[in-house]
Amino acid sequence: MNRLPRVALACLALTLGGAFVGACGGGDKDSSAGEQAPATETSAGGESSASQPVVVTMQGSQNMPEAIDVNVDQKIEWRNEDGYAHTVTSTSGEKIDSGNFTDSFSYSPKRAGTIDYVCTIHSGQGGKITVAK
74-120 pLDDT, tens digit each: 999 999 999 999 999 999 999 999 999 999 999 999 999 999 999 99
Half-sphere exposure of 118 (CA within 13 A, CB side): 7
Provide the 8-state DSSP code for 124.
Answer: T
pTM of the model as a whole: 0.64
Adjacent-strand bridge partners of 106: 28, 77
Give the tens place of pLDDT for each residue, 49-80. 667 999 999 999 999 999 999 999 999 999 99
Question: Domains in the chain and their CATH numbers?
Answer: 3-33+50-132 (2.60.40.420)
Contact 37/19 with Cβ under 8 angstroms? Answer: no
